[in-house]
Structure 1
């Protein structure tokens, strides 16, 4: 038992050597807008409006009134099972049940990308 204790202590204090060129295990998420791809977001979405919870969100979005300037055209699905492609979003009842939590900002300059809601399901999708 004494030797297993010594082995455990030795493993606990020995630094783990990572192979060269590999990223650390818990790398922080980059905040640049280039790292966030709006064309891969679909499913259940919770839109956060509280500025105090902005740091807990996946990204920042601006709701564009004009379709021409939006990066993503979104159709609101009533059922999460039908929100299975890009631009098809289902409203999540709470943050914990959402696939993505996005912060809605009133300032276009602070957003990672812009969305526009459409009433036609076939128009939904990425504009890029």
Structure 2
């Protein structure tokens, strides 16, 4: 009985350096998603309290010249397969990315502009 307790105590005790994480750590470089990689099903969040759950914070520009990403709203999720092609979804759980839309440009990570022409959509490299 004493031997069993001793062996189980040794198996339970592990030095902190030998601990192996169960899941790989996820780190974001830059703190937000790259605007050139945002495509697919997008959920537009309006509540600034949920900013920590969002992939990026965007500001909707009034002119295309100031936008980092020109967005075309697709009617079908299957066609939203390139940068700037977004299928706006109403369900947060089925979205590929969650984007916070702010009305203050200084809080945004980058700016977007909505276009009505599919061929104009895309990322603007600076």
Q: TM-score range, shorter-chain basis?
A: 0.7 to 0.9
Q: CA deviation at 1:92?
A: 1.4
- Structure 2 Cα separation of the partners of residues 4 and 72 of structure 1: 60
- TM-score normalised by structure 2 residue count: 0.82
Equivalent of residue 8 in structure 1, options 3, 11, 18: 11
- Structure 1 Cα separation of the partners of residues 26 and 65 of structure 2: 36
After superposition, the Cα gap between the structure-2 partners of 1:10 and 1:73, relative to the gap in structure 1 and judged at 3 Å, is same
- Structure 1 Cα separation of the partners of residues 59 and 26 of structure 2: 27
Q: Which of these two proteins has the greater Rg computed from alpha carbons?
A: 2
The gaps in structure 1 that reach 5 residues or longer are 19-24
- TM-score normalised by structure 1 residue count: 0.81
RMSD: 2.3
Q: Deviations over 1:31-55 (max 9, x none)?
A: 65xx531011100000100122112
Secondary structure in 2 aligned to 1:54?
helix
Q: How many residues align?
A: 118
